[in-house]
Each structure stands twice: as structure tokens, then as C-alpha cells.
Amino acid sequence: MLEELLIHKPDDPIEFMINHLKQNNDDAPRICVLGPPASGKTTVAMWLCKHFNAIRVSQETLLFKEVLMQTEEAKAYKERNQKIPNALWANLIQERLSNVDCIKQGWILEGFPENQEQAWMLQSSGIFPRHVVMLYAPDTVLIERSGGKRLDPLTQEVFHTTFDWPSDPLVQQRLVKPEDLSEQEVSKKLLEYHRNFPEIFHIYQKVLKSINADQPSVDVLSQVLAFVQTRHRSAAPFTPRILFLGPPGSGKSLQAALIAQKYDVVNICCGQLLKEAVADNTKLGELIKPYIDSGCPVPDNLVLKLLTERLSALDCLSNGWVLSGFPRDVEQGEQLQKAQINPNSFCFLGEERGPAPGEEEIEPWPDKCSRWPNCGREKRVFFFHLPYESIMERLSQRRTDPVTGERLL
């Protein structure tokens, strides 16, 4: 919304934002799929449309499937074998993307922009993709692919005589060879693409990911999906509020200490906080002391009151905090929300099970926490699988230094 305000600079910002909320769906996908000829743009775009129920916008759809104000003018250029002007393409795209279905469902823009001028025109029209997928492959591979490319005129799906031949005989019969697929024509298009590629890459570099198209289509699609489902980091400042959850022995205290040291946030261990309150002879400490002396759990209302008081301190409000040891169950978590203690990062350090069959091990926690600042305002959940046997081994071999309080194995 702020982006639209900066672009349009309306006289009445409040009314503009109200209309924006009525007419726009900020969660809808806005994706550009770019790449050289025969790199698989159509396959990727159609697959993304099916996955997100989004609208596919390409040269073919704009010229032959849509009835837009300037469609006939663009067709006239096509019939005369003349290049369609960039301004005309930009107008067609702007008109199509302003329709209700594209606003509500999102859009996948295939093959656009083709050059720097088109990219600038789209930006001046307020069209900014959230994700740009740039496919690439060696020219020799692309030229070989283009020779076997076949098109289904009914569904517009693309197949290949070697790599992706349809099993349905009816589909096989209606496949046609696209025009301009001679090696000379493909080489000419590749040359033009390589000439324009660096400028487009520079414009969209912050939202762009290059993906190797010279691999099985399943791998390409999985990489594309993983990228377009990510949200980009927000540059807006925020105070980190981190919550560590996990079974005993999963390393909550250690990782909290490392995070607090590296990013200068306040490390709050719930158990340690209770002991400090008792040692300082505070009013809450006097209420808590009998429970600790008897080995009974401290009531949740006392723990919450102590936590609320500590997290409201100036150092926590200014630097942020990392909390471990609370909540321990769903009820405590709900009470934490009612007390308006809302973390913006969740880290689950371990589950009392090993990886499920066929499930991959997650990368080590130090690698994860090194990227912690990139989480922006999003809530990230990190699962660290820890088998029950490992938990028991850690707890049974844990030793505590009575002087420093440090835990060792």
C-alpha cells in the first residue's frame, strides 16, 4: 500500500488506501517468469497458475484469448510481421492486469518484460512483480530443445518429442510444431535475449532468482515453488522478540545465550528469572519461594506476572529479548497471548522424535540462526528434530558448575 502511495501520490491518501484495500489482494501472487527461448517458461507459468489458481498472461493470451482495447492494433502488427512496440505491449499488460480476476487471484506474467524499456514502462504503470523467476540453460541445450518442441493448440501446453511426450494418443495427434523454430531463428532470439538480459537482471535483482532449466522438470518446478512462496525481507526496523520452545536437553538455554550475545538482545530464561526473584527477596520472590523450596511448579499467574514485569523493562523494550523455558503447554501459551506478550520469531528446538521416514534432516541450528535477522516481521518456525534417546543421553550426562552455573556435558 505504501508502495502505491509513493507511486501515485494521491491528493486524498486516506480515500486512496480505502480503495486499495477494496480492489487489491496483497496476498495474491505477482510473478514474472523469464528466460530464453525453449527454457520452459510456458510449462513453469502454467504449472504455477494451476498451483495458485492465478491468471496466466503471455503474448498468446493477450493477442488471441483476450478482448482488450488495443488487441486489434497489436494483431495488425503481428499480421504484417512487424515488431509490436514496447508501449503497446505495456498498455495491453496494464489493461489485462487491472481486471478483477488478476487483482483477486493474482497473475503469472510469462515472457515479460523482454527488455529494459518494457520493464520501465511496467514500473511506471505501477506493475511490480513480487518474484521474478529467471530460467537459464546452455544455448546448445536450448537449440536442441526447440527442435523437438510441440504445442497443444487446445490447452496451450508445451510438450517435447524426447523429454516430455504425452501418453494420451488424442493429445499426440493434435500436437503441432510452433512457428519460427528453425535453428537460425532460435539463434537470433537467443542473441537478442543475451543482449537484453543484463539490464533486466539489474532492474529486478532484489526480487529475482536464477534457476537452471537444464535438469528434470520436477526439480525445476520444486525450486520455483520454494522461491515464489518466500516473502522478501522488510527493511522496516523492528524490535526482535524471540521465543525458544523445545523439550529438556534440546539446547534452548545455550542457543538463547549465543543469540543474545551475537545480536545484543536480553536473554531471559524463565527458570533463572524465578531463582533471581527469590534471591532478590522481591514481593513476587517471596510468593514464589515456597513453591521452589518444596519442588512444586510455580503457578502460571505468578510466572506471567514476573515475565510481564521483566519484559516491560527498558532494556527489553529497546533491545528486544529472547525467552526460553516458557510456555510449556498450550494453556500457558494462550495466557502469554492474553498478557500481550507477542513474539515475532518462534524457534522450536527439537521434537521428541527422529525424522519421519523419507524426511530430510534440517540444517544445524547455528546455520539457521546466522540468518535470523532476515526474518523481518514474519513469524518463522524452526524445527530441530531430536530423538528421545538423544534427549535422555544429554540429560543423564549433564553436569552443572556450582560456581558459574554453566551446564556441561
The values of phi and psi at residue 399, to 5°, are -130, 145
Domain count, the chain: 2
Say whether both 343 and 302 belong to one domain. yes
Say whether both 277 and 331 belong to one domain. yes
* Cα–Cα dist 138/156, whole Å: 25
The reported pLDDT for the residue numbered 10 is 84
pTM (two decimals): 0.57
3-state secondary structure of 269: strand
Query: Which of the four pLDDT bands, split at 50, 70 and 90, describes residue 113?
Result: very high
Say whether both 140 and 276 belong to one domain. no
Say whether both 57 and 170 belong to one domain. yes
Query: Which of the four pLDDT bands, split at 50, 70 and 90, describes residue 370?
Result: very low
Say whether both 89 and 204 belong to one domain. yes
* Cell 544455448, residue located: 139
CATH number, domain with residue 273:
3.40.50.300
Cell numbers representing residue 254 in the block: 545455550
Asked if residue 233 belongs to a domain, the reply is no
- Domain carrying residue 108: 2-228
Interacting residues of 86 by C-beta distance below 8 A, sequence separation 6+: 115, 117, 118, 121
Say whether both 253 and 285 belong to one domain. yes
Interacting residues of 372 by C-beta distance below 8 A, sequence separation 6+: 240, 242, 259, 263, 345
Burial of 274 (0-12, 13-18, 19+ CB in 10 A): buried
Say whether both 310 and 393 belong to one domain. yes
Say whether both 65 and 146 belong to one domain. yes
Say whether both 39 and 126 belong to one domain. yes
Say whether both 331 and 190 belong to one domain. no
Q: Which of 139-143, 189-193, 315-319, 362-366 has the lowest mean pLDDT?
A: 362-366
pLDDT tens track for 374-401: 333 344 445 556 677 777 777 777 777 7
The reported pLDDT for the residue numbered 243 is 82
Is residue 22 over pLDDT 70? no
Asked if residue 208 belongs to a domain, the reply is yes
pLDDT tens track for 321-333: 888 888 877 888 8
Say whether both 189 and 49 belong to one domain. yes
Which of 178, 198, 228 represents a domain boundary (last residue)?
Answer: 228
Asked if residue 236 belongs to a domain, the reply is no
The reported pLDDT for the residue numbered 237 is 66
Asked if residue 234 belongs to a domain, the reply is no
Cell numbers representing residue 178 in the block: 510452433
- CA-nearest of 198, 153, 149, 155 to 177 is 149
